[in-house]
């Protein structure tokens, strides 16, 4: 049976509308893919990057009470040729002004455990040469470089941030309780960061510290393996 002109026009308009919606969806997906490519972040999660977050407080308190950061590679995944290979803890230390002051990369072997002093390892060499009393610590888990090392800048602006594997971390925190310094301990929190923010912290902020070649702003990896 012939289709009436009005009904045919209505059906063609619906089909055209559906085509427009499909083309819009493809365009959006393409833009997202281009954005992720431009950020230079390679991760199993394409829109968010897992980051361990902790803090330090009441640092250099005069009572010789120090905070610590403890990190372990519990061996479930790794970046080496074996399923349980070495992993890098890429560490980024911020001050209260949200400025990156120190960064470093620390190798952890399977089931390895590192203990880092907040005073001696993470805040004793700030980029601006000012005392760090309170701030934030971020840890990104990554496979080692081709040479087996851990570059927290991932090669700088032209590099690619590769995130894989899983580490666990805990922090002890110095608390001022009525003028007396006491220590508490909590697990570092796993948060999801945007690829753009990870790109900014690693390749650009940390990259600037690494590339100045003075050694200022480079933290150390404490004890353990």
Dihedral angle computed from the Cα positions of residues 126, 130, 136 and 138, in that order, rounded to the nearest 10 degrees:
-10
**pLDDT number for residue 27:** 35
* Radius of gyration of the chain measured on its C-alpha atoms: 24
Mean local confidence (pLDDT), 13-33: 39
Q: Where does residue 210 fall: left (phi above 0), alpha (psi -120 to 50 degrees), or beta otherwise?
A: alpha
**pLDDT number for residue 26:** 30
Residue bearing the bigger pLDDT, 12 or 191: 191
pLDDT band at 78 (very low <50, low <70, confident <90, very high): low
What pairing do the DSSP bridges indicate for beta strands 87-95 and 100-108?
A: antiparallel
pLDDT band at 41 (very low <50, low <70, confident <90, very high): low
- pTM for the model stands at 0.78
pLDDT tens track for 162-202: 998 889 999 999 999 988 999 999 999 999 999 999 999 99
What are the residue boundaries of the structural domains of the chain, listed by start? 1-39, 42-224
pLDDT over 90 (residue 72)? yes
**pLDDT number for residue 120:** 96
């Amino acid at each position: 049976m012939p289709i009436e002109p009005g009904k045919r026009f209505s059906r063609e308009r619906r089909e055209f509308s559906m085509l427009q919606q499909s083309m819009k969806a493809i365009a959006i997906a393409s833009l997202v893919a281009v954005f992720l490519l431009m950020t230079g972040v390679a991760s199993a999660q394409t829109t968010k990057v897992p980051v361990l977050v902790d803090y330090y407080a009441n640092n250099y308190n005069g009572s010789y009470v120090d905070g610590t950061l403890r990190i372990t590679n519990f061996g479930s995944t790794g970046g080496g040729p074996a399923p349980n290979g070495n992993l890098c803890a890429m560490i980024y230390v911020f001050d209260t002004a949200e400025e990156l002051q120190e960064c470093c990369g620390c190798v952890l072997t399977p089931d390895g455990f590192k203990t880092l002093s907040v005073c001696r390892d993470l805040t004793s060499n700030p980029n601006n040469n000012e005392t760090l009393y309170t701030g934030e610590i971020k840890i990104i888990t990554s496979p080692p470089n081709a040479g087996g090392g851990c570059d927290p800048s991932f090669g700088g602006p032209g590099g690619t941030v590769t995130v894989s594997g899983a580490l666990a971390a805990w922090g002890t925190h110095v608390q001022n309780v009525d003028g007396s310094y006491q220590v508490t301990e909590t697990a570092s929190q796993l948060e999801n960061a945007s690829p753009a923010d990870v790109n900014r912290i690693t390749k650009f902020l940390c990259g600037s510290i690494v590339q100045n070649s003075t050694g200022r702003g480079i933290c150390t990896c404490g004890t353990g393996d």
